[in-house]
Amino acid sequence: MSKALRSILVAGAVIAGSTSYAQDPASFYAGKTITIGVASSPGGGYDIYARTLVRHFAKHIPGNPNLAIQYMPGGGGIVVANWLFEAARRDGTQIALLASSTFLLAALGDRNTRFKNLGFTYIGNMNEEADTCSAWHTTGVATAKDFLSREVVIGTAGPSSNSHTFPLGMNSVLGAKLKLIAGYAGASTTRTAAMEKGELQGTCGIFVSTLNSQFRPLLDAGQLKVVLQMGLTRHPAYKDVPNALELAPTEEGKQALRLLFAQLALGRPFLAPPGVPADRAKALSDAFAKTMEDREMKADAEKIKIELRWFGTERMREVMQAMESAPEPVKADVRKILGIQ
């Protein structure tokens, strides 16, 4: 190939690429499909939030693209987070609903996380969450004191999930005797079904929003008992249930739990890969905000009993930055609790 011909081909490729990126968002998205990766299998709380967003999001995005969900469970959410950061298209056609637990692990330097919290393109967070621990009614575990003073067999979704890391924190800081059994990945219904069969006595890592939308019959029947909650404050729906943070016996332990629970603010976060063109990133975040205020969206959420304590990109960055900038001694304590080298 001659030097002149090679120059012409390279120039043509550059022009074609720049033309694609020069399109306004409406022209770019018209006729395209945005794929939403979800950090779980079908049927869980993440799935419900993703499907609820999908029903209303497209009409607010310029060009009204199609939306498709791709379930990507694994590693307590790390699989989809690594994919989004490393392999997803950076043109605004692939985004994801990530698990908040992965952000803490990245901030702590877990070697399995290959992404940077502050490197993502933020779109918006559908709900600020609180987490819970529950026990099955036949176990005799009815209070936080019971839960934290006895050996309770609980199922977890995997070493990187809140269902695993939060109990580790309570074993270390609060002196609990929780016996963790991994292998109950996927939707939280997997763990409650195992409790009903007698395989497990309890579980942690079920967000309040998931309890209210999926487990209300079990709660109302007294079969599933919420005995403890995790978060920086008590959730209004469970104001009489103790918060693990309140029970820390030392200031060092309280600081460790505070960092461990900080991620819960990002309960249902939607993000895009690094490098998405600024106008498309803004189009997506603006559309997200409009969707959260959409009357039909709010009615849909109320009908299926999910919370929308949402916020946008600025606060997402603030929460991420707070985790990243936590004092190193506190990070070291949390690494020790979680067994992160």
Per-residue pLDDT of the chain (341 residues; tens, 9 = 90+): 444 444 444 444 444 444 445 689 999 999 999 999 999 889 888 999 999 999 999 999 999 999 999 999 988 899 999 999 999 999 999 999 999 999 999 999 999 999 999 999 999 999 999 999 999 999 999 999 999 999 999 999 888 888 999 999 999 999 999 999 998 877 788 999 999 999 999 999 999 989 988 999 999 999 999 999 999 899 999 999 999 999 999 999 999 999 999 999 999 999 999 999 999 999 999 999 999 999 999 999 999 999 999 999 999 999 999 999 999 999 999 999 998 87
Residues 12 and 96 in one domain: yes
Residues 274 and 175 reside in one and the same domain: no
Contact 131, 264 (CB under 8 A): yes
Domain boundary among 248, 263, 278: 263
End-of-domain residue from the set 224, 243, 263? 263
- Model pLDDT, residue 21: 56
Query: What is the number of domains present in the chain?
Result: 2
* 110 & 188 share domain: no
Q: Give the model's pLDDT for residue 17.
A: 43
Same domain, 253 and 274: no
Answer yes or no: is 210 within a domain: yes
Domain boundary among 263, 291, 313: 263
Alpha carbons 268 and 310: distance in angstroms, whole number: 9
CATH number at residue 59: 3.40.190.150
Cβ-proximal residues to 329 (8 Å cutoff; 6+ apart), any chain: none
One domain for residues 140 and 248: yes
Burial of 237 (0-12, 13-18, 19+ CB in 10 A): middle
- 83 is written with which tokens? 């994919």
198 within domain boundaries: yes
Q: Are residues 88 and 167 in the same domain?
A: no
Tokens 């967070």 correspond to what residue?
125
Q: Is residue 256 part of a domain?
A: yes
In a domain, 307, yes or no: yes
Quote the domain boundaries for residue 163: 131-263
What CATH number has the domain bearing residue 254?
A: 3.40.190.10
> Does any domain span residue 2?
no
Tell me if 300 is assigned to some domain: yes
CA nearest 20: which of 29, 11, 9, 31?
29
Residue 314 placed within a domain: yes
**Upper half-sphere CA count for residue 304 (Cβ side, 13 Å):** 17
pLDDT of 183 reads 86
Instruction: Let me know whether 107 and 135 are in one domain.
Output: no
pLDDT at site 276: 98
Q: Are residues 72 and 168 in the same domain?
A: no
Residues 138 and 256 in one domain: yes
Q: What SS3 state is found at 341?
A: coil
Q: What phi and psi values does residue 335 have, to the nearest 5 degrees?
A: -60, -40
Q: What is the pLDDT of residue 172?
A: 96
- For the CA atoms of 292, 293, 296, 299, the dihedral, rounded to the nearest 10 degrees, stands at 80
**Shared-domain flag, residues 135 and 240:** yes
Q: Are residues 13 and 73 in the same domain?
A: yes
Q: What is the pTM of this model?
A: 0.84
Residues 173 and 98 in one domain: no
> Does residue 1 belong to any structural domain of this protein?
no
